[in-house]
Amino acid sequence: MTTHEPVAVRGAGTRRAANTPARGSAMHSSTDTLSDPRNHALAFFALALGSFAIGTSEFASMGILQLFAGGLHVDIPTASYAITSYALGVVIGAPLVTLAAARMNRRALLLALMSLFVGGNVLSAMAPNLDTLIVARFIAGLPQGAYFGAGAVVASGIVGKERAGKAFSLVMSGLTVATIVGSPFATFLGQYLGWRDTYAAVAGIAALALGALWLWVPRSQSLQGGPIAQELAGLRKHAVWIMMAVAALAVSSIFAVYTFIGPFVTDGAGLSRSMVPVALALFGCGMTAGNLIGGRLADAYPARGFVIGFGTATFVLAALAAFGSHAWLLLPALFAVGVTTLIAIPTIQVRLTRLSPESPTLMGAMNMASLNVANAIGASVGGLTIGAGLGLFSTVWAGFALTVVGLLVFGIVEVRLRSAQLRR
């Protein structure tokens, strides 16, 4: 991220006095509201509302899978390509969109990304067939990674780099709240009004977020982008790729659990279907709490958030896998999985940004891409263990194993980094 200093006027034979602002500088002075504390709460609300719309769109699609499969006259496995295409859009869009928009002011980038997201969901609501829906979901997924990357930069610029973890957790809070409120409500709309209304509602929320971003995200030249080469620098660092791989492995346990919450409740613990929304909400509440705790840990302790979060998660996952068939343990364990695993997410963001401070937007985008890779790994590995006849809760053991591997790799990398620092 670069800032631009006023330059002398060429060809006029004179220079502006040093204390006389150029026209661009005057504009900067009159519109740069980044440091105005009166705007901070509204700016964070706008950023979180955008992430709420994104989270609602992503998680609600799983809740209405059966509905659009029936409406478009395809079977569920075929219809699931629409969900896969969204995740593919996130993974591809995270680096490509971020690099393509490297020079854009981050406020302008957020507005462009949310506009694209609105369009993708409008097209989803209007899709006449599955092929169109797959394309529409891919388009809707493209802005997600870049949105969180740009949002993290704006949030950090508002509160200061020393509180970057807390800032990112506030932006992420919209996504975690979406698992509590947005996704269940959008699924309810789909069940009672039709699946197209779900995507229409998401488009409406996203349009509100677009307006909020326009009104309340500060106009500031300090949010100006930089050269593509500057953002690309982060991808040339092996430590960045290792951290992304660690994140994808460790975080996959979230999705190895979340994907199968419905069967856990009804088939595993023998509870009624009416308890599925309760279980989902408890998991979402845990994610929200863990995200906020993790934001504070990430700023205070560079590595402890990751170790504390995933370290405690392994114990909770083992308990859930062993005793999840008991209703008295299932619901509290789901809440605890949400808390412990989300504690580490802000730390991942802060670590990536510190590894490549010259490309903060791309690091935020790649963090989100890592989470979507984790989504694919957790859901697919869990499905494989169940399909192999290892039992319903074998998917939790799969998540447990992946998180342990992620922790071990993180520990090895940390030891080597510290050894290298001591040798200097």
Give the pLDDT band (50/70/90) at residue 276.
Answer: confident
Name the band, by pLDDT with cuts 50, 70 and 90, for residue 65. Answer: confident
Over residues 301-322, the pLDDT tens digits come to 767 778 888 899 999 999 999 9
Q: What local confidence, expressed as pLDDT, does residue 369 receive?
A: 83
112-169: per-residue pLDDT in tens?
A: 999 999 999 999 999 999 999 999 999 999 999 889 888 888 887 777 766 766 777 7
Where is 337: in which H helix or E strand?
helix 327-343
Residue 24 has pLDDT above 80, yes or no: no
Q: Per-residue pLDDT averaged across 5-30, rounded?
A: 38
Evaluate if residue 279 carries a pLDDT over 70: yes
410: which 2 tokens? 């993180």
The answer, yes or no, to whether residue 286 has pLDDT greater than 70, is yes
**pLDDT reported for residue 214:** 93
Cβ(151)–Cβ(363) below 8 Å: no
Same fold across 38-226 and 229-424 = yes
Q: Which residue has the tokens 């009159």?
A: 30
Tens of pLDDT, residues 336-381:
999 998 888 888 878 887 878 887 778 878 878 888 788 778 878 8
Computed on alpha carbons and rounded to an integer, the radius of gyration of the chain in Å comes to 22
Given a cut of 60, whether residue 2 has pLDDT beyond it is no
Give the per-residue pLDDT at 420. 57
Q: Say what the pLDDT of residue 29 is.
A: 38
pLDDT at position 35 over 80: no
How confident is the model at residue 302, as a pLDDT?
66
**Coil, strand or helix at 32:** strand
Q: Is pLDDT larger for residue 331 or for residue 12?
A: 331
Nearest C-alpha neighbor of 141 from the set 81, 89, 207: 89
Q: Tell me the CATH number for domain 229-424.
A: 1.20.1250.20
- Residue showing tokens 């053991």: 397
Rounded Cα–Cα distance for residues 120 and 127 (Å): 10
- Pick the closest to residue 137 from 229, 231, 202, 211 (CA basis): 202
pLDDT value of position 182: 85
Asked whether the beta carbons of 43 and 217 are under 8 A apart, the reply is yes
Written as one letter, the residue type at 231 is E
**What are residue 373's phi and psi, to 5 degrees?**
-65, -40
Q: What is the pLDDT of residues 387-415, one digit of tens each?
A: 888 888 999 999 999 999 998 988 887 77
**Residue 265 — very low, low, confident or very high, per pLDDT cuts 50/70/90?**
confident
pTM of the model: 0.73
Closest Cα to residue 89, out of 126, 129, 139? Answer: 139
Of the pLDDT bands very low, low, confident and very high (cuts 50, 70, 90), residue 205 is very high
Q: pLDDT: is 386 or 6 the higher one?
A: 386
Q: CATH fold of 38-226, please?
A: Growth Hormone; Chain: A; (1.20.1250)
Average pLDDT for the chain: 81
The reported pLDDT for the residue numbered 26 is 35
- The pLDDT tens digits for 154-197 are 887 777 766 766 777 778 788 888 888 887 788 778 878 889 99
Burial string for 189-220 (b: 16+ CB within 10 Å, else e) reads bbeeebbbbbbbbbbebbbbbbebbeebbbeb
pLDDT of residue 10: 36
Comparing 69 with 205, which gets the higher pLDDT?
Answer: 205
Residue 12 is predicted with a pLDDT of 40
Q: Is the pLDDT of residue 8 over 60?
A: no
Per domain, the residue ranges of the chain are: 38-226, 229-424
C-alpha dihedral sign at 323, 400, 365, 131: negative
Per-residue model confidence as pLDDT tens digits over 232-256 = 777 788 888 888 888 889 888 888 8
Rounded Cα distance between 89 and 81, Å, is 12
- Residue 20 pLDDT > 60, yes or no? no
